[in-house]
Amino acid sequence: MTPAAAVLPPRLVTLHDGRQVTLRPVEAGDEAAIVKAFERLSAASRYTRFGVHKKGINAAALEHGLHPVPGQAFVFVATVPAGLGFDIVGAAQYVPAKAGEPGACEFAITVAEDWRGSGLAPQLLARLVRRARRDGYGTMEGLVIAVNRPMLALARRLRFKVEAVPTDGTVMRIERALWRAPRPQARCTAPGAAAP
């Protein structure tokens, strides 16, 4: 995989509930805003997102999230103005799949509780799919807590295959091929020419 040539500029997006967010790649200076966004999540939301009851952000994971390896990992954040700065109200990322499957990446999305139902999650996931395809990934996958019905519904809407994990009834595996097989081209023969 090769790093994408162009850096994505920030983009102002109007969500279906009328609110606006700026979607942009994560920056090294976002650390405090990411920690603050995590702290605003309820215990239930943290469990739904991480699959465990987390009390804080792992320092190593935060460091990797702030400095994704170009061409291999990517992180989008959704920001809104707040005071003299901004708040992060959503984030989406992908990293190479842990199973070592070539051409596969794992993704995760987090949306602030007061932004659920706004249309932010579909915006983040659709852009993440396009970016992963651009980085050369052929498959995007993830694990979703089975009770997270809104995420499972979103995954199905965006053409992810959803299936149970045989060894764990609390988790669903979602997967989407990022490349479409080319359509067979119809052959045409000029009048009088011999067919191949």
For residue 78, what is the domain's CATH number? 3.40.630.30
Taking alpha carbons only, the member of 110, 92, 94, 109 closest to residue 23 is 92
Domain extent, residue 42, equals 11-137
112 within 8 A of 90, measured Cβ to Cβ: yes
Q: What is the pLDDT of residues 43-55, one digit of tens each?
A: 888 877 776 677 7
Residues in the chain: 196
Q: Judge whether 39 lies within some domain.
A: yes
User: From the CB of residue 88, how many other CB atoms can be counted at a distance below 10 Å?
Assistant: 23
| SS3 call for 170 | strand
Single pTM value for the model: 0.82
Q: What is the pLDDT of residue 52?
A: 67
* Backbone angles phi and psi of 108, in degrees to 5: -150, 150
3-state helix, strand, coil in the chain (%, to 5): 30, 30, 40
Residues facing 74 on adjacent strands? 94
Q: What is the pLDDT of residues 152-179, one digit of tens each?
A: 999 999 999 999 999 988 899 999 999 8
Q: What is the pLDDT of residue 4?
A: 41
Q: Judge whether 106 lies within some domain.
A: yes
Q: What is the pLDDT of residues 60-118, one digit of tens each?
A: 888 889 999 999 999 999 999 998 899 999 999 999 998 667 799 999 999 999 999 99
DSSP assignment, residue 12?
Answer: E
Provide the number of structural domains found in the chain.
1
